[in-house]
Structure 1
């Protein structure tokens, strides 16, 4: 580094921003940070090690003057107007060729607008997804940059150094043109919603249907995590069942209110899928059920009114738990398939050139949806990089055909016990529809033509037709 200038700047020194800077410092890069809240800057300095070259500043102009060119400045601020405000503040301070990185969960349409605007100012803009939470940021996240290729090449050494590693390979890669980085992160979060919904439904079957206690569920999830279901979300679920509440001594999971929050990326995924259009029903259900959970008072009133009798599942516990594991694995494969099919479609519609092989490659480590399954997906895309849907891969098809009966068995038993497993049902419904060469929507087309003259196509000859119905 020349003239004692810094390699990298960060605007926003919350937990994620601080941890990413400390990760960079661990890897030998000199870093400089700014936050309006001086206490966050102090926290960065307190958490840094003696060998780190870390500095905080009290203004953006001070930061810009101390960065080597081309300047690499990352924002980790709330999505929306705050991102535009930071960009507006930086514009008078930067020079052509400098790089601005948005590492938050910005909506991809906003990223596309900012990319076009900053190109007109001869500045590079990189929309970059970062997954892994605060621990990932500190010790190795999955990183999803998109946008300008020249900017990616400049950032590549830093990002590869700080990312998670799988088999020695960094969990970062160029995700494609324009807003591809934030688009991939949006879909990543949609898949995350879906897998969490599926796990919660299986938890309910174990708890309500089979009567397992938390210690027993810890054991089940631990065993699952030692097999083909091995993943971050299964691992932390097992951990959660042992956590005690220091105030009451009870299992913490039992005293957490059943109202789920969200930050919008799941909703964006569902809305955008309908715009494309592409079908992602398991992600849609995950969003919808978080919404239902918010209406706690109404749910309490409805239970009192309907008095549903949730009956135990009459089955051998060990056998049914094995079915549950296979059902969960099948449904998770299908929800990944929905999200990856969405990326394939969006890449074509928006001309983003998203490399799906690299997407699943970098999701194998660091990110929230990392799982052993991604190795199978990586193999599938190596064999066919332009695979429209991973359900078309012969090896994955074999896996699903083996586990399909377990998924059906679990759903039937849960329905009979009045346990809501709508995520599992949506995954199976998607599989049944996707593997049906003759869906019944010919009747829908006839209805649409009869009441609205919307026309239809025929199976025996080309063209568009309309009938004067009797």
Structure 2
């Protein structure tokens, strides 16, 4: 097939290369002229023969909405737009309606595989009509890993990105569990080979997984992870998963806690913990640490003022 690819970053560029290796003709457009085959979206559309297929791999939100809006004006009835980025599922129905009014098809695809996808294939979670999905199957077959797994037509418009959102939420929880396990092992005086523990778990255990393999790889490169700062961004899909859980009244304690842990990682000095420390000092006289790093006396420390007596109701 001939396909246009908009966005040739780490994911889009590797996906375009995998498609080319699979025998497809890919015409790529990117704002970076060093990697782009054409100078504009209009030129990209002109280079494709009807019925055209354009796959969009740009950041979610306004960048994706802007590209889809521009394509709606450039494409013709019978053409097809694929959003393979990490878009919010709620945007997909709007795109489908806007493009459908002009006779243009729309398919949303949640893509997982990261930088390894070029060689190992990409897991694809697809939303759209049976007709549009069937038309894209040669592309999907090339992008997905070999074998039966790695692809699902999850449902109608929005289902692909909804499935990917849940996938990423699960990923948040799994990564957080591995991270907490590593921290606890590091804190123990009993365990002297933390990295070895994780290596040993790769075979014969119920927690063996690709994420565990990647953690072992990271520890082999830097056993103490001393070159890293304890700061983690979130892609947005963890937030959307928690929001969707509230809307559907589905409890997500693990995924929610993992998301909040990422928020906490961005606070060099937690405002909430300041309140907790102040309250502990007030009600229990517990010592607190000053902003300058010194340790202030608590109410029960030698030389501290005696805490006022508690008045009882008369």
- TM bucket, shorter chain: 0.7 to 0.9
2:28 is the alignment partner of 1:33: yes
What CA distance in whole angstroms lies between the structure 1 residues aligned with 2:191 and 2:109? Answer: 42
**Segments ≥4 residues shifted beyond 6 Å:** 299-304
1:174 equivalenced with 2:153 (yes/no): yes
Equivalences for 1:365-376 in 2 at 5 Å? Answer: none
Counterparts of 2:108 and 2:154, CA distance in 1: 10
Q: Distance in 1 between matches of 2:250 and 2:237?
A: 17
Number of equivalent positions: 278
Shift of 1:135: 1.6
Q: TM-score, normalised by structure 2?
A: 0.82
2:230 maps to 258
Counterpart position of 2:184: 205
**Aligned residue runs from structure 1 range 12-161, under 5 A:** 12-41=7-36, 56-161=37-142
Q: Which of 152, 155, 163 is 2:144 aligned to?
A: 163
Structure with greater proportional strand content: 2
Aligned equivalents of 1:137 and 1:124: distance in 2?
27
Shift of 1:70: 2.2
1:255 counterpart SS class: coil
Q: Counterpart of 2:154 in 1: which secondary structure?
A: coil
Matches within 5 A, 1:385-464: none
Unaligned runs of 5+ residues in structure 1 are: 1-5, 42-55, 245-250, 308-470
Q: Does 1:219 align with 2:200?
A: no
Where does residue 168 of structure 2 map in the other structure? 189
TM-score (norm 1): 0.56
Over the aligned positions, Cα root-mean-square deviation in angstroms equals: 2.2
Tell me by how many angstroms 1:254 deviates. 2.3
| SS, match of residue 289 in structure 1 | helix
5+ residue gaps, structure 2, are 278-285, 290-314
Q: Secondary structure at the match of 2:5?
A: strand
Please state which structure has a larger fraction of its residues in helix: 1
Give the superposition deviation at 1:252: 5.9
- In the alignment, the residues of structure 1 paired with residue 58 and residue 207 of structure 2 have an alpha-carbon distance, to the nearest angstrom, of 34
Whole-angstrom distance in 2 between the partners of 1:255 and 1:306: 30
Residue among 272, 279, 282 paired with 2:244 = 272
Q: Aligned partners of 1:252, 1:11: CA distance in 2, in Å?
A: 40
- How far apart, CA to CA, are the structure 2 residues paired with 1:88 and 1:298? 41
* Structure of higher RCO (CA pairs closer than 8 Å, 6+ residues apart): 1
Deviation at 1:170, TM superposition (A): 4.5
